[in-house]
Chains A and B, each alone.
Chain A
Amino acid sequence: MSQTPVAPGPATFGRMEQSFRDKRAAGRKLLVPYITGGLPGWEDALRAAVAAGADAIEIGIPFSDPVMDGPVIQEASQRALDAGATPVSIFDQARALDVDVPLAVMCYYNTVHHAGHHRFAEQLVAAGVCAAIVPDLPLEESGLWCEAADASAIETVMLAAPTAPDDRLPRVCARARGFVYSVGLLGVTGERSALAATATALAMRLKAVTDVPVLVGVGVSNAAQAREAVQVADGVVQGASVVRRLLEGGAEAVGEYIAEVRAAIDS
């Protein structure tokens, strides 16, 4: 295989990426829990996750047709929608959170498209959110959103998938702000009994072409798997495993779980 060039990044980093780079330089592995916004009790769960050692929080904006999500996050999204959650109500709640870690949103593209790219970016700024993950907006379609996001200093996290050929990864990384979301397996969000071999393989491929922080998400299901993933990656996103605990046990269960994952990746 020929030498793949390291993708050039921007001259300065956004709030989330700078924070992640500083922590990485200090030897800390990054832990980003996903919490479905608008789910009853989500703000308490978010605060509990931060208190237990989360480095940032990914707030899920529920959508009617979440094609990248498995049953647990689908159910959480549906419950949040049934409870009347909207992007605007979640932003209002996020503004009042008063936590000291960077906040990102995970939202499907129609939520952005419908609001309007610039308007949505400004809504994020007003809500105190610094980054966005849009799982159904691949590189080729991301131009309009990225332009608006850049103009509002919103960091757009790009996803990289195990199916990407080698020449695609540097291009994805070049457009990534905040971190690169390394999709751990072929499939949707949800817990699995073992970390897929694709998770570490892709993280290694990404680490070879970028110095943007690389976090593994999708299919990292427990503390042991998180520890395995950070042997290669800079950190992990914890989705379904967190949301299941929020659905079953509330904020306390989320806090306990995040503390357990924190301990595992720090050891």
Chain B
Amino acid sequence: MTLMAEPSSTGRFGEFGGRFVPETLVPACQELEVAFREAWADPSFRLELHEILRDYAGRPSIITECKNLGRELGIRLVLKREDLNHTGSHKINNVLGQTLLAKRMGKKRIVAETGAGQHGVASATAAALMGLECKVYMGAVDVERQELNVFRMRLLGSEVEAVHSGSRTLKDAVNEAMRDWVATVESTHYCLGSVMGPHPYPWMVREFHRVIGDEAREQCRAAYGADPDVVVACVGGGSNAMGIFSGFVDTDARLVGVEPAGGAAVGRGVPGVVHGMRSYLMQDEYGQVQEAHSISAGLDYPGVGPEHSYLASIGRAEYPAVNDAEVIEAFQLMARTEGIIPALECAHALAWIAREAPAFQGQTVLMNLSGRGDKDVAQMMEILK
């Protein structure tokens, strides 16, 4: 079977994926699957998306070789600069795709969940551009630690609702967005922010992020005449990792998805079902979903996209974890040596590279810098006081 192709007719990647949703949402998921399949095969849709990504989001994003840090670590470290996209992260790729699709389907409104606020800001941005009504659900804990992003979303004309149930973080925001969708499914598209959820979301969101990997492969070949030896990205739900992995899954590159130690779904979870998918999930002995704990709101998620579970199960990708202390170090390291402030999420990827660099001296390591760290500066200021 070709890796990272279309999932099975039931939305499976091996044993993972599926469509575990309330009966009310089944027709909507079916309708979305048909609409996406048609749009993705339609050259006019692809062209329209390509033009928006180019003229609005600023694609293609460049690659940057970190000469200082690479010298320090004894590797060639190359960044894929998704932080330079409009709204400051890779999330814009997916939301422009989904909102364009939502309009094509005749939807007037989108709902979205957000953790750190990056997907929420991207959704609010795309909604403003496309003339769609937008409501973003955000855990109350995250509303507090990412208040600038809350203001941004409101400024962009979206409604933001703080979610006070459960752990009051990303997983609960997903629950609340799904509850909204159950009630409004006829007029509303659920603009899910990662490669998770019920079929067709894991597949569709990966396809919208495939542009990251496709560009990076061409850019690496042009610059170095070869594919990288190692491709590294952080993993919460796993969308930025899926995006960059998709460009290299059929090469010899080692694929590494770095999880936070307190939210290591692949590393510490067992297969479970929540948010519409069967995937690795952190849960207790009775199947209650456990709360993730990470310094980065965007990775505070106890599950992971089902295709990551599949790539892990067949050994094509590996999913190590780093702890908060290593992340704080890496965050400062990149700022100091390269003049780039990474998002805390991406600092996880760098933390793993810095720790493991002795094992791949002289090799080329491509890291997806999926977002910029401006949103995290206030939090880091408190931590480093």
Contact = CB atoms under 8 A, between A and B. Distances in A.
Interface residues of B, number: 38
B275 interface: yes
A109 B273 contact: yes
B138 to A, nearest CB: 16
Contacts of B28: 163
Interface string B21-32: 111111110000
A172 to B, nearest CB: 7
Contacts of A110: 272-274, 281, 283, 287, 289
A140 B24 contact: no
A67 B286 contact: no
B183 A188 contact: yes
A111 B22 contact: no
Interface of A: 63-68, 70, 74, 78, 81, 86-88, 109-111, 113-115, 135-141, 158-165, 168, 172, 183, 185-188
A159 B184 contact: no
Interface string B1-30: 000000000100000001111111111100
15 contacts: A65-B274, A67-B182, A68-B182, A78-B165, A110-B281, A113-B272, A113-B273, A114-B283, A136-B273, A138-B20, A138-B21, A161-B22, A163-B186, A185-B183, A188-B183
Contacts of B165: 74, 78
Contacts of A185: 183
A140 B23 contact: no
Interface of B: 10, 18-28, 165-166, 171-172, 175, 178-179, 182-186, 271-276, 278, 281, 283, 286-290
B171 A141 contact: no
B179 A65 contact: no
Contacts of B185: 163, 186
A168 to B, nearest CB: 8
Q: Which 4 A-B pairs have the closest CB atoms?
A: A114-B287, A187-B183, A161-B24, A161-B23
Q: DSSP class of B's interface residues: helix, strand, loop or mixed?
A: mixed
B23 A67 contact: no
Given A113-B287, A188-B179, A183 B19 contact: no
Nearest to A85: B286
Contact of B175 (A67, A139, A158): A67
A200 B64 CA distance: 62
Given A65-B274, A114-B272, A164-B27, A138 B22 contact: yes
Nearest to B176: A67
Contacts of B166: 64-65, 78
A186 B179 contact: no
A118 to B, nearest CB: 15
A172 B286 contact: no
A70 B183 CA distance: 11
A163 B22 CA distance: 11
Nearest to A164: B27
Contacts of A160: 23
A32 B290 CA distance: 32
Residue of A67, A81, A87, A111 ringed by the most chain B CB atoms within 10 A: A67
A161 B185 CA distance: 12
Contact of A111 (B20, B175, B178, B286): B286
Contacts of A86: 286
Nearest to A160: B23
A64 B23 contact: no
Given A63-B288, A186-B186, A137 B27 contact: no
Given A65-B171, A67-B175, A74-B165, A186 B287 contact: no
Residue of B22, B274, B289 ringed by the most chain A CB atoms within 10 A: B22
